[in-house]
Chains A and B, each alone.
Chain A
Amino acid sequence: MSQAILNHAPAAGRNKLFDRVCVPIISLGIPLLIWEFLSRSGLINDFLFPSPSQILGVLWGKSGLQFETGILYGHVYASMMRLLWGLFLATVLGTLIGMLIGLTRWGKFIFKPLLSLFMPVPTLAWTPILLLLIGVDNKTTILIVFIAASFEVILNVIAGIENMNVKVFWVARSMGASRLQIFFKVIIPGIMPYLITGMRLGSGYAWRALIAAEMLAASSFGLGFMIYEASEFMDMTTIYGGLFMIALLGFFIENVLMGMLEERTTRKWGVQVER
């Protein structure tokens, strides 16, 4: 970053557009073209590496609006719903626990050790237990999403509270703010940027965990289920199509969705709370 400025300080402008639009298109396009060519000409195994056009064709075929052929919507919808429910739970409970740890002595006393007890457990290791407790159900995958995302939310909320300046409390209190007012007018806006950061990071982990959990525990829908099922039928084009969708949606969630949320909150509540 810094050396980019040092290297070519002038001649930005037009180059920037080129860098942002053309470079990704070319650098992604050329390998895809080579892949397409190799696969079509039979130089690489077209069973293991079906050509990109074939993959897109399969995706397109699955994305019809009718129910029988429009399976892709069902998979995407199921995965997104699980993710959103899990994220919602993680945000609510994670913020609550984070606040208890950050603001109260007993919360810190109780939850901090428990947090460090559960944090090192790989999220997906819970899947078999949840499968036994709940069975193959949406709840299982939602809980996995919740576990994957909540630690990030909790840690960031704690960090947000720790980075708040005590003087802000003093100011609010000296001007006669009640506890409720302090909570809503000082603490909530103060942790907001951190909470959003936690949600963004958490959503990335959650998406990854969700796909794996769906492979292990989904009943009939979900992108993870889609690719795992396809591997049992050795349906390589569907697997690649699923991978494409997973990458696309993962990128969309982490950068576009959460990025927008982050931008809006930072614009509303100021950039950082370091005073």
Chain B
Amino acid sequence: MKTDAASTAEATMFSGENQGISGGLSALVQFGRFMLPIVALLAIWELAVKTGMIAADIFPAPSMIFARAMQLLFSTGPEQGMLFRHIGASLYRAIAAFALSILIAIPLGFLLGLAPRIYKWVSPVLSVMLPLPAVAWTPILLVAFGQGDKTIITVCFLGAFFPVLYSTIQGVQSVSRHSIWVVQSMGGTRRHILLNVLLPACLVALISGLKLGMAHSWRTLVAAEMLAALSSGLGYMIFAARSYMDVSTMFVGIALLALIGMLIEYGLFGVLEKKTIRKWHATSKVGGKR
């Protein structure tokens, strides 16, 4: 979890400075200003490689990486479609783990959030488990399940579980007792309270928990795939490319990991967050990434 201030700093970091409605031209200028340092960095990198200041076989130039990406994307040889297979395998694992964590963490979060007594007794166990990195479970799972999807999905599940659980608990606990009492005194049933009071009230926390959980799942995935994947996945692709000194492929993999992570976080969950916040007027209290 992170402080409010830091998450707003982060929010402005990615939204750029929106100075009202000032037309497409200024947006273009903004974009150009944003891209300039990145382009400059790439140009310096390219030049350094071309002039031989950096050895190309260890640190290939951006143009070589781009060429490799095109080759991986559109080649018709034995490599055809390999990249898509890696991406598909990674996405499948991350999403499966995420779905599992939702299925378990959200009901558990509601239970712990609504029953302070149970929470009191369970929270020591949770706070012991929390500082354990999800990846640290890999060796046990490797012995138990061997390499493969089962191990990777379990590790990612553990990575996504705690953010979702804690956000849910926090969300449920922050619902004011009074609004529950009001609905109760007007004869609302348990179902009414759950669906019409609790769910809308903690939806924002819930969604930022989901966002965080998916981000964790995605970030844990890389390490898990490097340690336990058999033949597919972006993490595996990067790690396998290392043994062939195929640095271009490694950079393609890293760029893809970042790109897909961003698409999920700012595309999917950004839209979801905006929609729910607008509908339920609240602002997110539980923020952060990773």
> A residues touching B (Cβ–Cβ < 8 Å)?
1-4, 6-7, 19, 23-24, 26-28, 31, 48, 109-117, 120-129, 131-133, 152, 155-156, 158-160, 162-163, 194, 197-198, 201, 204-205, 207-209, 211-212, 215-216, 224, 227-228, 230-231, 234, 236, 239-240, 242-243, 246-247, 250-251, 254
- Report the stretch among B18-26, B67-75, B222-230 that lies at the interface: B222-230
Interface residues of B in 192-224 (CB under 8 A from A): 218-219, 221-223
- A155, B10: Cα distance in complex, Å: 7
Known: A3-B116, A109-B33. A205 touches B9 (CB 8 A): no
Min CB–CB distance B289 → chain A (angstroms): 8
Min CB–CB distance A89 → chain B (angstroms): 19
A–B pairs, 8, beta carbons within 8 Å = A23-B124, A24-B124, A122-B219, A122-B221, A129-B247, A152-B2, A194-B5, A208-B134
- A212, B139: Cα distance in complex, Å: 11
Closest to A210 in B: B133
Min CB–CB distance A245 → chain B (angstroms): 10
Tally of A-B residue pairs with Cβ under 8 A? 194
In the complex, the answer to whether A27 meets B226 with C-beta atoms within 8 Å is no
Interface check B285, CB cutoff 8 A: no
**Cβ-closest 10 pairs across A and B:** A250-B131, A231-B139, A208-B133, A24-B124, A159-B5, A212-B135, A128-B242, A212-B223, A120-B258, A159-B9
- Inter-chain pairs besides A197-B3, A243-B137, 17 sampled, C-beta below 8 Å: A19-B120, A48-B140, A48-B143, A120-B259, A122-B223, A122-B257, A155-B6, A158-B6, A160-B5, A194-B3, A212-B223, A216-B226, A231-B142, A239-B139, A239-B143, A246-B131, A250-B133
In the complex, the answer to whether B120 meets A224 with C-beta atoms within 8 Å is no
- A115, B238: Cα distance in complex, Å: 22
Interface check B122, CB cutoff 8 A: yes
- A124, B135: Cα distance in complex, Å: 11
**CB-CB < 8 A to B235: which residues of A?**
125
Min CB–CB distance B7 → chain A (angstroms): 8
Closest to B227 in A: A215
In the complex, the answer to whether A246 meets B132 with C-beta atoms within 8 Å is yes
Interface check B245, CB cutoff 8 A: yes
- A1, B119: Cα distance in complex, Å: 11
Interface check B125, CB cutoff 8 A: yes
Interface check B28, CB cutoff 8 A: no
Q: How large is the interface on B (under 10, 10 to 19, 20 to 34, 35 or more residues)?
A: 35 or more
In the complex, the answer to whether A207 meets B131 with C-beta atoms within 8 Å is yes
Min CB–CB distance B85 → chain A (angstroms): 18
For the residues of B in contact with A, the DSSP-based class is: helix
- Report the stretch among B34-42, B45-53, B96-104, B183-191 that lies at the interface: B34-42
Interface check B279, CB cutoff 8 A: no
**CB-CB < 8 A to A152: which residues of B?**
2, 6
Known: A23-B121, A125-B235, A227-B136. A3 touches B222 (CB 8 A): no
Interface check B8, CB cutoff 8 A: yes
In the complex, the answer to whether A128 meets B139 with C-beta atoms within 8 Å is no
Closest to B114 in A: A3
- A122, B251: Cα distance in complex, Å: 13
In the complex, the answer to whether B116 meets A247 with C-beta atoms within 8 Å is no
**CB-CB < 8 A to A31: which residues of B?**
125
Interface residues of B in 122-165 (CB under 8 A from A): 122-125, 127-129, 131-140, 142-144
Interface check B239, CB cutoff 8 A: yes
Known: A125-B222, A231-B139. A247 touches B6 (CB 8 A): no
In the complex, the answer to whether B34 meets A204 with C-beta atoms within 8 Å is no
In the complex, the answer to whether B219 meets A123 with C-beta atoms within 8 Å is yes
Min CB–CB distance B95 → chain A (angstroms): 16
In the complex, the answer to whether A132 meets B140 with C-beta atoms within 8 Å is no
In the complex, the answer to whether A156 meets B132 with C-beta atoms within 8 Å is no
In the complex, the answer to whether A4 meets B116 with C-beta atoms within 8 Å is yes
Known: A128-B239, A236-B143, A239-B139. A246 touches B133 (CB 8 A): yes
In the complex, the answer to whether B120 meets A132 with C-beta atoms within 8 Å is no
**CB-CB < 8 A to A48: which residues of B?**
140, 143-144
Min CB–CB distance A98 → chain B (angstroms): 9
**CB-CB < 8 A to A230: which residues of B?**
139
Closest to B121 in A: A27
Min CB–CB distance B186 → chain A (angstroms): 20
Q: Give the contacting residue for B37; candidates A2, A24, A114, A156; CB below 8 A.
A: A114
In the complex, the answer to whether A125 meets B144 with C-beta atoms within 8 Å is no
Closest to B132 in A: A247
**CB-CB < 8 A to B128: which residues of A?**
28, 247, 251
Closest to A121 in B: B258
- A133, B245: Cα distance in complex, Å: 11
**CB-CB < 8 A to B10: which residues of A?**
155
